[in-house]
Amino acid sequence: MSIFVSATPAATPKSKDVKRISIFFAGVLVVMAVAQLFTFEEFLALVEDFVLPGGAVFAHVFTAVLILAEVFALPFLLRMSLSPLFRWVSIASGWIAASLWIFIAIWLAIHPGYVTNIGYLGTVAEIMPGWWAVFMSIALGILSTWASWGMWPKKVVL
């Protein structure tokens, strides 16, 4: 028995579709995170303009958690060898990133007129918020759930 954590290989995907979906979702998250980090200061100001409950401090923490969740979801989606605990953290990060985008999209759809950019790509490209963005965020949630289901790290015994 060793006290050191060892990396374990990823579970075998349940289908080829799961492998493709996880790679696609990872690609989407990489593009989003890089664009948001490229213009991070402007992205912070953009999220402040969302007028989220909690003010500017909450907006800054929210932005940091959002980008960290997008980045930490990548090791699971790319099927890297990870410790069992970090594999679960990475799975949860994918769910958190999708959930936060669903929250932002619904918030901006309910409160129109605050901003003209939802921030999927930071401030690199202006993407209008609206109900289409809610559905796009739900699609991110579906991709996250599908990848999690297809590469679930524990075997379920019924």
Which of 27-36, 67-76, 144-153 shows the lowest per-residue confidence on average (mean pLDDT)?
144-153
Structure tokens at 128: 């209008």
Query: What is the four-CA torsion angle of 77, 80, 85, 90, rounded to 10 degrees?
Result: -20
What pLDDT is attached to residue 74? Answer: 97
What pLDDT is attached to residue 2? Answer: 62
CA-CA distance, 136 to 109, in Å (whole number)?
Answer: 12
CA-CA distance, 105 to 110, in Å (whole number)?
Answer: 9
What pLDDT is attached to residue 6? Answer: 84
